[in-house]
């Protein structure tokens, strides 16, 4: 009995040892017509053994490539597709262009902000350059708010941007000095458009309504107690 450990190693185990032996026998056939006929028969059998390859685009091209691979690229048959080579099938892919390494203090900002900063530094128009600076500073505020709970101060953003760009971009704070996020933005506004005034007005009306309800409840309890005392006095007489 022969064990698989003592046999030759299979080049493509998914096709089995029988396909490997058929390919080895086909390589010994001297008649080119008969050899071509056997190659086509092996291709059909390989397609039956691996039906999932039919879902692959141009799966017959893949089967012919596998046939050459099983034969160790030493096969003299006429393929309907370009003959593959070891250099082509085992060629290493080109390395991917990974983004440039950022400093640890700037990783929370991401590579997109670094690209915007590079574009701002390359801008020659002063007005557009200031616009880029304001946009970069605002994005830095948003990124900082995602990682910290305390409010974001403009002075801190200005100093960090100045340090990142070696003084090339100078952020000028405008408007409020803090960035806050309020989810309760759908509060009812007053008729004059002042949201705070309308909210306070509604809150005051609600407080007065609650005070009136408490006063009515206490008056009703006093009347009930007075009625109970009167009933006790009548029973005595």
Same domain, 64 and 19: yes
pLDDT number for residue 36: 92
Q: How many CA atoms lie within 13 A of 35 on its CB side?
A: 15
Same domain, 82 and 13: yes
Sign for the CA dihedral angle at 62, 63, 67, 69 comes to positive
Specify the pTM: 0.43
- 233 within a domain of the structure (yes/no): no
- 199 within a domain of the structure (yes/no): no
- 185 within a domain of the structure (yes/no): no
**Which parts of the chain have pLDDT scores under 70?**
1, 98-108, 174-222, 224, 226-237
Same domain, 65 and 120: no
- 135 within a domain of the structure (yes/no): yes
pLDDT number for residue 188: 43
Same domain, 84 and 12: yes
- Residue-number span of the structural domain to which 51 is assigned: 8-89
pLDDT number for residue 34: 93
Same domain, 154 and 85: no
- 35 within a domain of the structure (yes/no): yes
pLDDT number for residue 220: 63
- 124 within a domain of the structure (yes/no): yes
pLDDT number for residue 198: 44
Same domain, 74 and 16: yes
pLDDT number for residue 39: 92
185-200 pLDDT per residue, tens: 444 444 444 444 444 4
* Domain final residue, candidates 156, 179, 202: 179
* Domain final residue, candidates 58, 89, 120: 89
Same domain, 85 and 151: no
Same domain, 59 and 113: no
- 43 within a domain of the structure (yes/no): yes
Same domain, 83 and 116: no
- 16 within a domain of the structure (yes/no): yes
Query: How many domains is the chain built from?
Result: 2
Same domain, 24 and 80: yes
């Amino acid at each position: 009995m022969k064990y698989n450990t003592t046999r030759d190693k299979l080049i493509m185990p998914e096709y089995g040892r029988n396909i490997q032996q058929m390919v080895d026998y086909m390589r010994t056939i001297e008649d080119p017509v008969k050899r071509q006929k056997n190659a086509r028969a092996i291709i059909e059998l390989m397609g039956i053994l691996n039906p999932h390859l039919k879902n692959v685009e141009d799966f017959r091209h893949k089967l012919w490539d596998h046939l050459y691979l099983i034969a160790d690229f030493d096969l003299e048959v006429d393929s309907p597709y370009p003959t593959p080579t070891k250099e082509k099938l085992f060629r290493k892919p080109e390395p991917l262009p990974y983004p440039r390494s950022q400093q640890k203090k700037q990783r929370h900002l991401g590579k997109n902000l670094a690209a915007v900063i590079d574009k701002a530094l390359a801008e020659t128009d002063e007005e557009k350059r200031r616009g880029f600076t304001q946009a970069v500073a605002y994005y830095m505020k948003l990124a900082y708010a995602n990682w910290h709970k305390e409010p974001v101060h403009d002075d801190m953003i200005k100093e960090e941007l100045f340090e990142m760009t070696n003084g090339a971009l100078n952020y000028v704070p405008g408007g409020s000095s803090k960035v806050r996020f309020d989810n309760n933005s759908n509060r009812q506004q007053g008729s004059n458009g002042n949201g705070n005034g309308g909210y306070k007005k509604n809150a005051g009306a609600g407080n007065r309504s609650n005070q009136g309800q408490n006063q009515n409840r206490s008056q009703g309890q006093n009347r009930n107690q007075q009625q109970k005392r009167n009933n006790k006095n009548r029973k005595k007489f």
